[in-house]
Amino acid sequence: MKQEPFDLEFNRIFRWLGNETTPGHLELKLDMYKKLWNFLLIGDSYYFVINHHTLEFEFVSNEVEQVMGYLPAEFDIPFMNSKLHPDDRSWFLAIGSGIVDFFSHLPVDKLMKYKVRYDIRFKKKDGDYARILYQGLLLEHDDEGRFLRTLSVHTDISYLKQDGKPVLSFIGLDGEPSYFDAASNNIFIEEKEGFTKREKQVLRLLIEGRPSKEISTVLKISKQTVDTHRKNMLHKKHLNNTGELIGKAIRYGWI
């Protein structure tokens, strides 16, 4: 099955955190995880354990049904990603990239001294969107600092925050400094080009640096038609000039 760009980027980001090491036995540790969950818990919450070797949820608490309406058995990573608010999907990737960047610069002995916190919107079973506060703690890592297992808590904070962009923060524990609003720039803006087949042909030749007259010859259409296609693409994307069009086309892969 062909993966969507979002799924490919998600897997690239979160597979960087893990490696080929298999975490130890889960069941023996659940009591300890539940104590940590109580440390993170605020309001209506549920928790889950992520295995970074398999990129799967090893455990989802029963409270997910109370908070979101879903059964624990149906709540896995692909399902969770499919429930993201469309406007938050690119923010979710930006947050993931921010997490990778932050932990990749930490010494191994400080990896477990930070709590990850961000908010994002998910669709509940009743069709409404909930603003979810994510809190995560690294539970296990290997000698090289690659993640093995994390404990994650989702809390419905819709009553606290209705609008605004998602915010990523790293909360320092044991005297470590905290960093707030660490993903202020959404670097994974998802753009669908919305161009016709002919517009894409014109755009491809514009990227090659060809002038309108030469494009008209290659495509066997008039120069006026080429200019019309170019103006239509600028209008569709609310851009001011061809340079902006070419720059965004290259950045977002519109051709």
Looking up tokens 């070797």, which residue turns up? Answer: 53
Kindly compute the dihedral angle of the four CA atoms of residues 26, 29, 31, 37, in this order, to the nearest 10 degrees. Answer: -90
Greater confidence (168 vs 250) lies with 168
Whether residue 136 contacts residue 14, with contact meaning beta carbons closer than 8 Å, is answered with no
Q: Give residue-wise pLDDT tens across range 152-208.
A: 999 999 988 888 888 898 988 888 998 888 765 655 555 556 889 999 899 989 988
Whether residue 48 contacts residue 57, with contact meaning beta carbons closer than 8 Å, is answered with yes
The answer to whether residue 63 scores a pLDDT higher than 90 is yes
pTM assigned to the model: 0.65
Q: Which residues contact 175 (CB under 8 A, 6 or more apart)?
A: none
Domains by residue range for the chain, with CATH: 5-172 (3.30.450.20), 197-252 (1.10.10.10)
State the pLDDT at residue 26. 55
166-198 in b/e burial notation, b at 16+ Cβ within 10 A? bbbbbbeeeeeeeeeebbeebebebeebebeee
Phi/psi at 197 (5° precision) = -60, -45
Least confident of 22-26, 37-41, 101-105, 146-150: 37-41
Q: Give residue-wise pLDDT tens across range 3-36.
A: 566 777 777 776 666 555 566 655 545 555 555 5
Q: Which residues pair with 122 in a beta bridge?
A: 84, 130
Least confident of 29-43, 106-120, 197-211: 29-43
Whether residue 255 contacts residue 249, with contact meaning beta carbons closer than 8 Å, is answered with yes
State the pLDDT at residue 240. 87
Whether residue 75 contacts residue 49, with contact meaning beta carbons closer than 8 Å, is answered with no
Phi/psi at 179 (5° precision) = -130, 125
